[in-house]
């Protein structure tokens, strides 16, 4: 609120003299007559600039309150208060009322008395039984003692347990539920206490009894008590002064604004959310969330996705629209600019195709997708003769030409999504002359096409029985025209329908007289098959479902393991019935035991086995020894668990020896199919085909996609499709600063699309560069961003390509002012937490001056110590300056934000408004960070974990990164407000080893507000500027050998050199890895090598002093730098520093500044600044 300076000063003067200094009216007087303050002080001083106090936000649902609170109606609370007798009326409070939402949060034990719940019914009041049941700063008070001493209007109704939680300050032996008061924290000063507490001498605290203060302290002189005890004069301060209640500390308010129920959850792939400004009120905005509906959790075939658009206002998030998406797992980009969003099919690896929603990565024009198992009678000509036509090549002279398909067969072929089996002896080859007409169905595009030759271009047409190929003549018309719109010199899979020539003559040489085409039945929804090495790692192979390069066609037979003395159902394919998870016998053991099927049983056939009875590996080995061409695993038709009560299963093959790394014949896992199973049990020996030309119908009747990008216009509620030639994409991200969409194609090429008018067109820009652009890959699951687009203060645009090679922790910086011509300006190796692993989000601030780098290490990644101290890797955020991007140097590291995190947590995401940022720390909640110059620069200014920290014990800490605060999005209209995705883990369900769908949910969004932060009031503005330096070695790039590890190839040389320099500087200067950051090693000038590094502030000497120390050591042979990892190279090294003029602090901020170590000058050290800035605005 806007606090009137006069009113503030008047209230301060009304306080007792001892308390006046604790109130404070910092900043007064002002030109405008007021200062901004937290609204709660207005309710105390009643000093609003217009003699009113604005309403608090309040609540309208219990979900917005703490777990032991309920949301009460302000109107009903006031009505109840007025109904009380005057003698008790003053004991009843409606604290927090009135409010914007009409309610305020209160302890649940008061609801049964007032019956004032916003929901209409009071939630159950549990109370407390132990002090640990209460929040920090509270104790468990006996309800009976409280009621006897103060009455129910102070203590509330009796809860389920014996006590109620009250502030520690009111604790006495008689009031405590166990006759003891929780001992406060020990302290030596106010800084040792939590926010809202102060440090008082133990002797002062003990005046109220040892039960409050605990025993006399041996290692500290004071204990922490609520600051109100100091202000009220009950206890003296350890330093004689009470901490100011307006010290400007930041506070985080956290409330749930969206809870998804049932089967609908947040989609987890890349950019799942977005925030757009606009609405009926300037205070409102729209929040967009990509949602995934699992529907039936037993299978993924019925899944769907949509984008929900919510209105965000004082009443939380209210859904106003649902926008269905084209498939159940798509790539989405929701730009910050608003009104348009972009959808594409996801290009995934051949390995992932069988694990994910394959139909959502299928694009017309590629091989059949999703793939299936086609089957039919072994002799189709006998079982379905209507599929065949006989003719003579002389029929070409007839008016109707040659008909290859009967008219009633055309619809079946046109709608065939499985496999068209063609048997023919018909071929032709020759020049396409005027008058030729060929009609055919393209199996790659699912469409009928007619080629009418009206001009003699001289193109050659070849049909080999399955595919049509056009070879354009050399010279003459362009290939596209000469080939009548067909792709030149490309074999197109086709089903012929008709061929004719109006003159009755042709230059085609034809042969044959029969043509048969049948649409075979197929089995879709094929299950994943995973291969594991003896060490437990997943092995990829060329015979997996989507890796096959050719069709495997052969008759099939159901295995009869009784022929080798097998146990159980002979279709199981088991020598003995055992736990399927037990290791299978080896091939040698089966061979030596005589467990080889008779010749001819499955020889040169598909070997079909049912699930159950033993491991999949044993089934595979028996089929392999029997001479089969492949294994078709099918669900056991008599197993109700597989058929109805289990989720889509996975087949696992475990190798027992490291020497065995891949399978020799394909293994395909299909759900039960009654028709095929009947043929097998009847010993009909059906023909089975599996491979790139065998598809299956998509689930829910979906049609195959033509690829490209679909654009949604929110203003017209319409979709438009563009650039279908792009097919499926690996990723797609829209710039935050201009109308450009960056995409990565399935081939790994970076393209740029112009989105200035996306409803009409998306112009595809193929960028050129002074260096070849890297191949782009899909990032790991938790890293959502692949590029960061920056608008620089110099008027140019820069794009950071993040870890393009999938591993390596490298950032490439390009000048992309002209998106058609990229110019590489620098490169950075972020090897500070790990040399090649664990890189997290890379985020540019809105003003383009800072780059934030996080890490996703947790337990799984960044293995092996990189730092020299004992900390876990990944628990820091690195802050880089982007102000000198045009200098061709790697951006310097300005500082590091140290984070207190638990094992298993990661810095999942970070978002900023101005120089205030909020980081999502998964299980550890959220942390607010200040990037601006000032006393809290690069520090955590507030943290909250209560609402995000679920019950996840240390023994399953690996799941913590999947819980709590995840993606973070900044509000567009509310300063220092953020939306945070929250995930939750059910530890009990996880312990049962069930599917992740049982124990992991992505189902809520929370709004986090940073309040009360006054950068000026948080302490003395001082900081240690980093020193940006470099070493130049008079040695050719790659020629240096290291004492440990020997020689390395050039690809690993930079990493080894960067690591060696970092360790050498740490050892020589006696500092931790936190204070030295190496950003680049590269060739330099003629036959030299350069290494960039940065000295950061911390304990001990300032960075400026460290630099001087290093300079002195290099001039002194025998000093520490001459004995470390660089000992043999130091004599050929030169030290220098980089200066960045635009990063120099304003002179007005440095007047009178001196180096903290007494050296003065030099632009380094710690500076004391008058700092004439307020919040994020500086003159």
Give the tens place of pLDDT for each residue, 935-980. 788 999 999 988 898 889 999 999 999 999 999 999 998 889 999 9
Provide DSSP, 1008-1023. EEEES--GGGGS----
Please list, in sequence order, all residues whose beta carbon lies within 8 angstroms of the beta carbon of residue 924, skipping any fewer than 6 positions away.
899, 900, 901, 902, 905, 943, 945, 948, 949, 964, 965
Which strands, in side-by-side order, build the sheet including 197-201?
A: 186-187, 222-226, 197-201
Pick from 808, 840, 739: which is nearest to 1051 by CA? 808
Backbone angles phi, psi at 247, to 5 degrees: -75, 0
Token representation of residue 1081: 């090693």
Give residue 691's region: left, alpha or beta (phi > 0; psi -120 to 50). Answer: left
Pick from 23, 39, 74, 26: which is nearest to 251 by CA? 39
For residue 427, what are the CA distances in angstroms to 499, 509, 514? Answer: 12, 8, 10
Pick from 801, 730, 788, 724: which is nearest to 762 by CA? 724
Place of tokens 């632009």: 1163
Pick from 779, 827, 799: which is nearest to 737 by CA? 799
Rounded CA separation 425/465 (Å): 7
Please list, in sequence order, all residues whose beta carbon lies within 8 angstroms of the beta carbon of residue 17, skipping any fewer than 6 positions away.
none
Q: Is 1056 helix (H, G, I), strand (E, B) or coil?
A: helix
Longest Cα–Cα distance of the chain, Å, equals: 118
Rounded CA separation 852/1080 (Å): 17
Give the H or E element holding residue 765: strand 763-765
Rounded CA separation 902/927 (Å): 13
Rounded CA separation 761/755 (Å): 8
Classify burial at 610, counting beta carbons within 10 Å of its beta carbon; exposed 0-12, middle 13-18, buried 19 or more.
Answer: buried
Rounded CA separation 973/977 (Å): 9
Q: Is 850 helix (H, G, I), strand (E, B) or coil?
A: strand
Rg (CA), the chain: 36
DSSP symbol at 588: H
Q: How far apart are the first and last CA of the chain?
A: 23
Outline where DSSP puts E strands in 951-1057. 964-970, 977-985, 1000-1011, 1027-1033
Whether residue 364 contacts residue 705, with contact meaning beta carbons closer than 8 Å, is answered with yes
Instruction: Supply the pLDDT for residue 190.
Output: 84
Please list, in sequence order, all residues whose beta carbon lies within 8 angstroms of the beta carbon of residue 442, skipping any fewer than 6 positions away.
448, 449, 492, 493, 494
Instruction: Supply the pLDDT for residue 1086.
Output: 80
Q: How many CB atoms lie within 10 A of CB 115?
A: 13
Total length of the chain: 1179
Instruction: Supply the pLDDT for residue 1017.
Output: 52
Backbone angles phi, psi at 1016, to 5 degrees: -70, -30
Token representation of residue 937: 């620069």
Instruction: Supply the pLDDT for residue 776.
Output: 93
Rounded CA separation 998/987 (Å): 10
Give the H or E element holding residue 1147: helix 1147-1150
For residue 593, what are the CA distances in angstroms to 212, 563, 602, 746? Answer: 78, 13, 19, 48
Place of tokens 């947040």: 266
CB-hemisphere CA count at 13 Å for 258? 31
Rounded CA separation 997/646 (Å): 12
Q: Is the pTM of this model over 0.75?
A: no
Whether residue 688 contacts residue 374, with contact meaning beta carbons closer than 8 Å, is answered with yes
Helix, strand, coil percent content, the chain, rounded in steps of 5 = 20, 30, 50
Give the tens place of pLDDT for each residue, 860-872. 778 654 444 557 8
Instruction: Supply the pLDDT for residue 238.
Output: 87
Token representation of residue 69: 């609170």
Instruction: Supply the pLDDT for residue 1164.
Output: 28
Tell me which residues of the chain have a pLDDT lower than 50.
Answer: 246, 640-645, 865-868, 1018-1022, 1045-1047, 1141-1179
- Report CA 236 to chain centroid distance, whole Å: 50
Token representation of residue 1008: 């986090």
Classify burial at 1133, counting beta carbons within 10 Å of its beta carbon; exposed 0-12, middle 13-18, buried 19 or more.
Answer: middle
Give the H or E element holding residue 229: helix 227-231
Q: Is 882 helix (H, G, I), strand (E, B) or coil?
A: coil
Whether residue 638 contacts residue 681, with contact meaning beta carbons closer than 8 Å, is answered with no
Whether residue 719 contacts residue 712, with contact meaning beta carbons closer than 8 Å, is answered with yes
Provide DSSP, 116-174. -BTTSSPPP---BSSGGGSPTTEEEEEHHHHHHHH-HHHH-S--SSSEEEEEGGG--TT
Instruction: Supply the pLDDT for residue 1021.
Output: 45
Rounded CA separation 652/1167 (Å): 63
Whether residue 751 contacts residue 766, with contact meaning beta carbons closer than 8 Å, is answered with yes
Pick from 832, 780, 822, 833: which is nearest to 802 by CA? 780
């Amino acid at each position: 609120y806007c606090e009137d300076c006069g009113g503030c000063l008047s209230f301060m003067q009304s306080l007792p003299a001892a308390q006046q200094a604790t109130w404070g009216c910092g900043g007064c007087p002002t030109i405008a007559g007021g200062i901004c303050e937290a609204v709660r002080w207005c309710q105390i001083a009643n000093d609003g600039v217009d003699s009113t106090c604005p309403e608090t936000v309040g609540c309208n649902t219990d979900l917005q309150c703490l777990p032991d609170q309920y949301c009460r109606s302000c109107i009903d609370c006031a009505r109840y208060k007025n109904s009380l007798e005057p003698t008790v009326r003053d004991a009843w409070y409606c604290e927090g009322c009135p409010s914007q939402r009409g309610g305020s949060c209160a302890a649940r034990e008061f609801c049964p008395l007032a019956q004032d719940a916003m929901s209409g019914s009071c939630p159950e009041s549990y109370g407390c039984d132990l002090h640990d049941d209460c929040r920090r700063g509270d104790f468990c008070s006996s309800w009976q003692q409280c009621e006897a001493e103060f009455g129910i209007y102070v203590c509330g109704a009796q809860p389920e347990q014996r006590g109620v939680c009250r502030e520690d300050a009111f604790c006495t032996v008689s009031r405590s539920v166990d006759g003891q008061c929780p001992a406060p924290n020990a302290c030596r000063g106010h800084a040792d206490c939590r926010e809202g507490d102060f440090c008082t001498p133990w002797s002062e605290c003990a005046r109220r009894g040892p039960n409050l203060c605990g025993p006399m302290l041996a290692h500290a002189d004071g204990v922490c008590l609520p600051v109100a005890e100091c202000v009220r004069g009950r206890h003296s301060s350890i330093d004689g002064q009470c901490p100011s209640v307006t010290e400007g500390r930041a506070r985080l308010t956290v409330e749930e604004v969206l809870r998804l129920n049932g089967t609908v959850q947040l989609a987890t792939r890349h950019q799942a959310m977005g925030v757009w400004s606009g609405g009926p009120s300037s205070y409102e905005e729209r929040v967009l969330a990509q949602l995934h509906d699992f529907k039936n959790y037993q299978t993924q075939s019925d899944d769907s996705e949509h984008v929900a658009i919510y209105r965000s206002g004082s009443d939380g998030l209210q859904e106003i629209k649902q926008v269905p998406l084209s498939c159940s797992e798509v790539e989405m980009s929701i730009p910050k600019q608003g009104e348009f969003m972009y959808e594409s099919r996801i290009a995934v690896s051949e390995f992932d195709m069988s694990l994910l929603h394959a139909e959502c990565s299928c694009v017309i024009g590629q091989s059949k997708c999703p793939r299936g198992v086609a089957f039919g009678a072994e002799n189709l000509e006998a079982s379905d003769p209507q599929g065949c036509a006989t003719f003579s090549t002389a029929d070409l002279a007839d008016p109707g030409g040659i008909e290859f398909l009967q008219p009633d067969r055309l619809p079946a072929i046109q709608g065939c999504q499985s496999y068209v089996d063609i048997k023919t002896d018909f071929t032709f080859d020759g020049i396409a002359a005027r008058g030729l007409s060929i009609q055919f169905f393209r199996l790659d595009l699912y469409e009928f096409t007619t080629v009418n030759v009206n001009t003699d271009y001289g193109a050659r047409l070849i049909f080999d029985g399955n595919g049509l190929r056009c070879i354009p003549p050399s010279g003459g018309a362009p290939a596209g025209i000469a080939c009548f719109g067909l792709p030149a010199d490309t074999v197109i899979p086709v089903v012929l329908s008709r061929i004719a020539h109006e003159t009755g003559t042709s230059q085609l040489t034809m042969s044959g007289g029969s043509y048969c085409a049948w649409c075979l039945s197929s089995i879709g929804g094929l299950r994943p098959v995973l291969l594991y090495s003896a060490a437990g790692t997943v092995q990829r192979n060329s015979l997996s479902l989507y890796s096959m390069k050719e069709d495997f066609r052969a008759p099939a037979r159901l295995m009869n393991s009784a022929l080798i003395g097998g146990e159980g159902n002979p279709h199981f394919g088991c020598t003995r019935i055992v736990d399927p998870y037990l290791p299978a016998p080896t091939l040698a053991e089966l061979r030596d035991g005589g467990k080889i099927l008779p010749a001819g049983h499955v020889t040169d056939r598909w070997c079909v086995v049912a699930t159950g009875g033993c491991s999949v590996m044993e089934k595979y080995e028996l089929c392999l020894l029997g001479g089969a061409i492949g294994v078709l695993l099918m669900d056991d038709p008599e197993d109700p668990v597989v058929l109805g009560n289990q989720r889509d299963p996975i087949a696992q093959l475990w190798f027992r020896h490291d020497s065995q790394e891949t399978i020799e014949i394909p293994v395909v896992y299909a759900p039960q199919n009654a028709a095929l199973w009947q043929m097998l049990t009847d010993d009909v020996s059906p023909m089975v085909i599996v491979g790139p030309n065998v598809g299956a119908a998509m689930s829910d009747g979906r049609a195959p996609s033509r690829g490209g990008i679909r654009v949604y216009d929110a203003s017209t509620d319409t979709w438009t499709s563009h650039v279908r030639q792009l097919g499926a994409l690996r990723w797609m991200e829209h710039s935050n600063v201009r109308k450009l969409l960056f995409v990565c194609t399935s081939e790994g090429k970076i393209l740029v699309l112009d989105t200035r008018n996306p409803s009409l067109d998306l112009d595809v820009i193929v960028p050129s560069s002074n260096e070849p652009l890297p191949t782009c890959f899909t990032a790991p699951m938790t890293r959502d961003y692949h590029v960061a687009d920056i608008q620089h203060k110099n008027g140019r645009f820069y794009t950071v390509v993040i870890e393009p090679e999938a591993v390596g922790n490298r950032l490439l910086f390009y000048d992309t002012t002209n998106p058609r011509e990229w110019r590489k300006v620098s490169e950075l190796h972020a090897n500070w937490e790990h040399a090649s692993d664990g890189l997290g989000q890379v985020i540019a601030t809105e003003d383009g001056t800072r780059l934030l780098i996080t890490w996703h290490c947790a337990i799984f990644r960044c293995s092996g110590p990189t730092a020299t101290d004992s900390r876990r890797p990944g628990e820091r955020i690195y802050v880089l300056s982007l102000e000198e991007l045009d200098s061709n140097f790697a951006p310097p590291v300005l500082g590091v934000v140290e984070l207190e995190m638990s094992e298993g947590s990661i810095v999942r995401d970070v978002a900023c408004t101005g120089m205030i940022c909020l980081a999502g720390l998964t299980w550890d909640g959220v942390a607010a960070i200040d990037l601006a110059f000032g006393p809290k620069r690069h520090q955590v200014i507030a943290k909250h974990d209560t609402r995000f920290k679920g019950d996840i014990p240390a023994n399953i800490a690996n799941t913590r990164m999947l819980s709590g605060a995840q993606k973070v999005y900044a509000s567009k209209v509310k300063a220092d407000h953020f939306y945070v995705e929250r995930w939750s883990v059910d530890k009990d369900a996880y312990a049962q080893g069930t599917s992740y769908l049982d124990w992991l949910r992505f189902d809520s969004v929370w709004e986090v507000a940073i309040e009360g932060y006054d950068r000026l009031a948080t302490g003395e503005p001082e900081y240690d500027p980093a020193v940006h330096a470099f070493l130049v070695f008079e040695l050719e790039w790659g020629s240096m050998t290291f004492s440990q590890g020997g020689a390395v190839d050039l690809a690993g040389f930079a990493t080894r050199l960067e690591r060696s320099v970092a360790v050498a500087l740490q050892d020589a200067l006696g500092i931790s890895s936190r204070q030295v950051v190496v950003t680049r090693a590269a060739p330099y000038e003629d036959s030299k090598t350069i290494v960039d590094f940065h000295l950061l502030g911390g304990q001990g000497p300032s960075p400026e002093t460290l630099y001087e120390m290093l300079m002195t050591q290099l001039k002194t042979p025998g000093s520490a730098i001459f004995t470390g990892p660089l000992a043999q190279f130091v004599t050929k090294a030169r030290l220098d520093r980089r200066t960045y003029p635009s990063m120099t602090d304003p002179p007005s901020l440095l007047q009178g500044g001196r180096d903290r170590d007494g050296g003065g000058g030099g632009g380094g050290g710690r500076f004391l600044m008058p700092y004439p800035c307020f919040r994020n605005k500086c003159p």
